[in-house]
Chains A and B, each alone.
Chain A
Amino acid sequence: MNHRARTALFLVGGLGLLCFYVWGLHGLPGFGHYPGPYGDLINSLTVFERHATDAVTAVNFDYRGFDTLGEEFILFASVMGANLLLRKQKDDREEDPPLDQAEDRVVPPTSDAVRVTGLALVLPIVVFGLYTISHGQLTPGGGFQGGVILASMPLIIYLCGDYKSFDHVTSHVLSEITEALGAGGYAIAGLISIMFGLNYLTNFIPLGQTGDVLSSGTILLISVLTGLEVAGGLVVLMISFFRQSLVYRKTDEESRGPR
């Protein structure tokens, strides 16, 4: 199909979509008029049923816990797929490495301001990530957000240093283990519920005092496990991409094998 036919087909389809969409909009309750009742029910029940003050995290890791497990495995599968695609392949080292800069210019070194700011940010980022993961049941946060914050730490080190320092603080094996622990732990947490004679992923830990960090039972546990998986998965992705773009073309046969 050539370019013109493709665009024409798109325009016809887009016009049809537009007609149906505008038609459908007239049946919607309008922006700012959420009709409920599902969200309202959850909003009024989470504090009493789950002792969690963050309804979003409660939905994610408890009311919709099984769906989130599925989404976690989408994440897991994507990370593994990318990791597999970017592995060192047989003909990788045979490629003639193009130098990553123009021949008559040198790459300017990272400025001191960037280095100092970046290094000063490393510890706060780790603390903030752990805080976000562990307080997800109380205030906005949880495993997904905190995991991403944690995973940005090695990236900051790469930005204010170089690939060597990034390679130094990350470990492919450890990141993969972390990711697998997170994903597997989530599924196992559901199985433990079954061992207690409950439905899959039903809460089996005492709910604790509303407002405490150690409250809301399995929500906290699953939040931490999700944080592990997201952080591990994103670091695995970074390592794969960095190796693919920086290392594999440059090294020869014996210096670096796939771990």
Chain B
Amino acid sequence: MSQAAGEFLRMLPFLVAAWLFVVGLYGIVTSRHLVHQIICLIVVQSSTYVLLLAVGYRTGAVAPYFYDVPVHTPAVDPVVQALALTDVVVEAAVTALLLAFAVQAHKRFGTLDPHELVQIKG
């Protein structure tokens, strides 16, 4: 593997995280539908999972579970994994809250277009 390709692969997961973040943000900025906007927010948030797990990864190491491997086996960082896992569940609940807002917005104003919603409020 050439030097440049190695350097690129070394950065790839971080670039994927950045791509997810930016592409989700682009979706939020240009969205014309609240539900679509919420999905874009999930995309933005999923970039944090990629980033967290990439930061803690170690080539050739095992998962941080020592039930059937000796204690001092090289393992990946458990802290970022714990962060990612609580994040997934909490995100699901927060998404539900946002969708509930969308439901009520549709009931009150009959539209889910954020631009029209702004105009309604004046």
Residues of A at under 8 Å CB distance from B? 3, 6-7, 10, 14, 17-18, 21, 25, 28, 30-34, 36, 38-40, 42-44, 46-48, 53-60, 64, 68, 71, 74-75, 78-79, 81-82, 85-86, 95, 138-140, 142, 144-145, 147-148, 211, 230, 233-234, 237, 240-241, 244-245
Contacts and interface: CB of A to CB of B under 8 A. Distances in A.
A46 B78 CA distance: 11
A contacts with B: majority SS: helix
A74 B86 CA distance: 11
Interface in B37-77: 54-59, 61, 63-67, 71-72, 75-77
Task: Across the A-B interface, give the 6 residue pairs with the lowest CB-CB distance, nearest first.
Answer: A39-B77, A32-B59, A55-B78, A55-B64, A78-B93, A85-B100
Given A44-B71, A75-B90, 7 more contacts: A3-B30, A21-B18, A31-B13, A39-B78, A55-B65, A59-B79, A60-B85
A233 B82 contact: no
Contact of A237 (B63, B75, B96): B96
Contacts of A32: 10, 57-59
A233 B72 CA distance: 38
Contact of B82 (A6, A56, A240): A56
A244 B64 CA distance: 42
A56 B85 contact: yes
Interface residues of B, number: 52
Contacts of B81: 56, 59
B64 A56 contact: yes
B86 A241 contact: no
B107 to A, nearest CB: 8
Contact of A85 (B63, B80, B82, B101): B101
B contacts with A: majority SS: helix
Contacts of A85: 97, 100-101, 103-104
B102 to A, nearest CB: 10
A140 B63 CA distance: 9
Given A54-B67, A240-B100, A43 B57 contact: no
Interface of B: 9-15, 18, 22, 25-26, 29-30, 54-59, 61, 63-67, 71-72, 75-82, 85-86, 88-90, 92-94, 96-97, 99-101, 103-104, 107, 115
A73 to B, nearest CB: 10
B93 A14 contact: no
Contacts of A33: 58-59
B78 to A, nearest CB: 4
B93 A43 contact: no
A34 to B, nearest CB: 4
Contacts of A240: 100
Contacts of B99: 82, 241
A14 B80 contact: no
A63 to B, nearest CB: 8
Contacts of A7: 29-30
A74 B65 contact: no
A95 B104 CA distance: 13
